[in-house]
Amino acid sequence: MSEVSIDNEPLVRFLNKLQPLSPAIIDFALKETFRITVKKNSLIDSVQENSKECVFFIIKGLVRGFILDEGKDITTWLTQENGLIGTIRNPGNTAPTYFEHLQAIEDSNLLVLPYSFIDKLYVQFPESNILGRKLLAIHYHMSQERSILSRIPSAEARYKQFKDNHPTIKFRIPLKYLASYLGMRIETLSRIRRRAKLNS
């Protein structure tokens, strides 16, 4: 395996920034992970069985997480290129109240990291626990931002914070998904956007 092909792997580049990876870990990861493509609007589940047993690295595209609350679809998570999305296992005992579904909202290329691979990684390469710890801290912060975002009383301030944190994807997300993510009605989001355009 040539240096160039390793360096081309977007996941390896992403992880190397957090924690330098040994060639043995990179080899192992290239062997045990694989790519899938998911068409726009498809559920990840329809392409990858047992998607709850995996984490996905987005090579290209945009994926949302959503829950169904009494039939209502609420977007709870949005991840674009070079981000991870998927079920994060809970070592505590509390079962999550809601199941989060994953859906591509653009044609997407994903790298699949099965938990079976991640578990082997932690055992065979103990230093990968440092990487796991750092990744989970990053996920914590993204979740924390989502959690704080939704508690800001002003709809306008929520949209502004989202725009500031995600400058490149705000026009790639269908209005109905973004509105539920921001906890506002579609009409409110449209009005805020029109006003923002007039003022820019």
Q: Using CB under 8 A as the criterion, which residues of the chain lie in contact with its own copies when the complex forms? A: 18, 67, 69-70, 72, 74, 76, 88-92, 94, 96-98, 100, 122, 126-127, 129-130, 132-134, 136-141, 143-148, 150-154, 157, 161, 164-165, 180-181, 183
Instruction: Kindly state the smallest distance separating residue 122's Cβ from its own copies, in Å.
Output: 7
| C-beta of 30 vs 152, nearer to its own copies | 152
| C-beta of 47 vs 152, nearer to its own copies | 152
Any residues with CB less than 8 A from the CB of 140 and at least 6 apart, and which? none
Q: How far is CA 169 from CA 7, 161, 177, in A?
A: 26, 13, 12
Instruction: Kindly state the smallest distance separating residue 155's Cβ from its own copies, in Å.
Output: 12
Instruction: Kindly state the smallest distance separating residue 1's Cβ from its own copies, in Å.
Output: 28
**Three-class SS state of 135:** helix
Given a contact cutoff of 8 angstroms between Cβ atoms, the answer to whether 28 and 125 are in contact is yes
Type and span of the H or E element at 63: strand 62-69
| C-beta of 34 vs 140, nearer to its own copies | 140
End-to-end CA distance of the chain: 50
Instruction: Kindly state the smallest distance separating residue 80's Cβ from its own copies, in Å.
Output: 14
| C-beta of 37 vs 160, nearer to its own copies | 160
Instruction: Kindly state the smallest distance separating residue 139's Cβ from its own copies, in Å.
Output: 5
CA distance 129 to 75: 30
Bridge partners, 80 (sequence order): 62
Distance of CA 34 to the CA centre of its chain: 17
Instruction: Kindly state the smallest distance separating residue 39's Cβ from its own copies, in Å.
Output: 26
Given a contact cutoff of 8 angstroms between Cβ atoms, the answer to whether 40 and 104 are in contact is yes
| C-beta of 3 vs 72, nearer to its own copies | 72
| C-beta of 49 vs 164, nearer to its own copies | 164
CA distance 149 to 133: 24
**Three-class SS state of 136:** helix
